[in-house]
Structure 1
Amino acid sequence: MGRPSKYPTEFRTEAVRLVLTTDKSMAEVARDLGISDKTLAGWVRKDRAKQTADALPGALNEHERLELKRLRKEVADLKVEREILRKAAAYFAKETTR
């Protein structure tokens, strides 16, 4: 996982809103807020990508994506556990036939 953000989520959301709803350029908004224009551009790009993904028919919302990620990890863990149990069962079956 990456390092924690230097800026709170509310600040980033408000900065993106300013870029999208005002007549100011991205550089002007960044200068007014005291942040790098490259940083603000990254936030805007990420927000636009999220909006595009959410607008697709049948797209998952943020909570559904998090749930899907959690479930995929759980499935992977269960597959590892199943493989360990399968090998243990085979080992003990071989031991009892001796």
Structure 2
Amino acid sequence: MAKTRAPYADAFRQQMIDLVHAGRTPEDLAKEFEPTAQTIYNWVAQADRDAGKRHDGLSTAERQELTRLRRELRQVKMERDILAKAAAWFARETGTVPDKGSNS
């Protein structure tokens, strides 16, 4: 099983982004610090999206909203399924709909 580590602190990420913007390469920073060069490239790209410099993906705020909306949709679907099952149960109990197993 792969080992996971705690996310890097926001201040550390910002420091890496600032160093890249100051002229350091992600490869040099990866040798000096723990994150990989690709991770640093990803942080810089996301910071540029958040600042409006790039338009090839979602900003952090958009990504958070998408996550919230997906969670909300999952909850609404679950509630809908529960209500549909409850409605079917009440219909069978009141005799307005025959049981699924009946031969009629």
TM score, norm. by length of structure 1: 0.66
Higher RCO (CA-CA < 8 Å; seq separation 6+): 1
Query: Which residue is 2:39 aligned to?
Result: 43
Aligned length: 90
**In the aligned structure 2, how far is the partner of 1:43 from the partner of 1:75?**
31
User: Aligned residue for 2:60?
Assistant: 62
Match of 2:20 in 1: 19
- Quote how far apart the aligned CAs of 1:21 are: 1.4
TM-score (norm 2): 0.63
More helix by share: 1
Gap runs ≥5 in structure 2: 97-104
| RMSD after superposition | 2.9
Q: 1:1-48 deviations in whole A, cap 9, x for unaligned?
A: x6422x4211221123213313x45455456xx523xx1513322124
Structure 1 position 4 matched with structure 2 position 6: yes
Detail structure 1 runs of 4+ shifted over 4 Å in the superposition.
24-31
